[in-house]
């Protein structure tokens, strides 16, 4: 082996960085910066879209009357039981806030009536002679943004596929026995018993010598407020103000129904 060269290298004569490496680093930094900016802009746009959707979908509700039940054939060919509602339009008669009423709610009027009382005439202020007046509570004032006195709300606030809950008064059935009211089996017809097929049986014991609270007995049945959740909007007819909702809805034909959005 020859002698090793120990002469120190002069300034500028050491290892040089190739020009293409520097260009690659600059391009990488520029691409990374552009990527961050694009993601940031996309995130801002997504947040703005979400806020707009929340503002548009806040406090979606309407009043309706029950028309009839029918069958609905979906796109997959399956048959779904559905209820047809005559929904809206409703008019906002009052917007309640925390400052005066101590809670947030929207009061709406629905239907028509030939004559109304003078206090109602003063409250409605010429908006109409409403047959029904109902109130929909809000969690806070943000849920009522864009809703003002005199606004008209129709079925266009909903769309197909929305999940809703409905409330109404069930059919009244009068005074009924325990077999129909609570599903009791009744007593035997044979083995030495007479006229005990629909009897309730014992309603207590020797002690405490009284009927226990909550004992299931005969009495008035039906006529109660029933709420059904997680129903799906199947179809909407804006021209006829009709709303088709999956499942059964409490009440008879003509019953007032409250529809609220859950999503």
- In-domain check, residue 30: no
- Kindly list the distances between the CA atom of residue 185 and the CA atoms of 9, 152, 201, 222, in Å, as whole numbers in the listed order: 108, 52, 10, 20
Q: Verify that 138 and 160 share a domain, yes or no.
A: yes
- In-domain check, residue 38: no
- In-domain check, residue 151: yes
pLDDT mean for each 10 residues of the chain (263 residues): 50 49 51 56 55 55 96 92 94 92 93 92 92 91 86 93 95 96 92 91 92 96 96 95 96 96 81
Q: 146 is in which domain, residue-wise?
A: 57-174+220-261
Phi, psi of 164 (to 5 degrees): -130, 165
Q: Verify that 204 and 227 share a domain, yes or no.
A: no
What pLDDT score does 74 carry?
87
Q: Verify that 196 and 137 share a domain, yes or no.
A: no
What pLDDT score does 75 carry?
87
What pLDDT score does 49 carry?
46
For the CA atoms of 112, 116, 121, 126, the dihedral, rounded to the nearest 10 degrees, stands at 30
Q: What is the 3-state secondary structure (H, E, C) of 139-191?
A: CCHHHHCCCCCCCEECHHHCCCCCEEEEEEECCEEEEECHHHHHCCCCCCCCC
Q: Verify that 113 and 170 share a domain, yes or no.
A: yes
What pLDDT score does 55 carry?
41
Q: Verify that 181 and 62 share a domain, yes or no.
A: no
What pLDDT score does 53 carry?
45
Q: In whole angstroms, what is the distance from residue 165 CA to residue 262 CA?
A: 7
Q: Verify that 246 and 190 share a domain, yes or no.
A: no
* Token couple for 146: 């864009």
Work out how many domains the chain is built from and give that number.
2
CATH number of 66's domain: 2.40.30.10
What pLDDT score does 144 carry?
85
DSSP-assigned states of every residue in 202-251:
----TTTSSPPTT---SEEEE--EEEEEEEEEEEEETTTTEEEEES--SS
- In-domain check, residue 244: yes
Q: Which of 236, 234, 227, 238 shows the shortest CA–CA distance to 260? A: 227
Q: Verify that 94 and 167 share a domain, yes or no.
A: yes
Asked if residue 166 lies in contact with residue 249, where contact means CB atoms within 8 angstroms, the answer is: yes
């Amino acid at each position: 082996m020859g002698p090793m060269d120990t002469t120190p290298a002069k300034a500028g004569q050491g290892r040089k960085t190739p020009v293409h490496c520097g260009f690659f680093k600059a391009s990488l930094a520029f691409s990374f910066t552009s990527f961050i900016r694009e993601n940031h802009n996309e995130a801002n746009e997504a947040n703005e879209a979400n806020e707009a959707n929340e503002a548009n979908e806040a406090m979606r509700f309407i009043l309706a009357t029950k028309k009839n039940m029918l069958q609905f054939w979906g796109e997959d060919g399956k048959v779904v039981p559905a209820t047809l509602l005559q929904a809206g339009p409703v008019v906002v008669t009052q917007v309640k806030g925390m400052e005066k009423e101590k809670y947030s709610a929207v009061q709406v009027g629905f239907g028509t009536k030939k004559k109304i009382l003078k206090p109602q005439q003063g409250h409605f202020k010429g908006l109409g002679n409403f047959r029904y007046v109902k109130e929909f509570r809000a969690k806070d004032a943000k849920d009522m943004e864009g809703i003002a006195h005199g606004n008209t709300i129709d079925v266009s606030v909903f769309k197909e596929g929305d999940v809703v809950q409905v409330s109404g008064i069930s059919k009244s059935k009068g005074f009924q026995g325990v077999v129909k009211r609570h599903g009791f089996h009744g007593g035997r017809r044979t083995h030495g018993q007479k006229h005990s097929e629909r009897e309730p049986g014992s309603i207590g014991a020797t002690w405490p010598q009284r009927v226990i609270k909550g004992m299931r007995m005969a009495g008035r049945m039906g006529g109660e407020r029933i709420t059904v959740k997680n129903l799906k909007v199947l179809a909407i007819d804006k021209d006829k103000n009709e709303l088709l909702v999956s499942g059964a809805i409490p009440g008879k034909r003509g019953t007032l129904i409250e529809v609220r959005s859950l999503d």
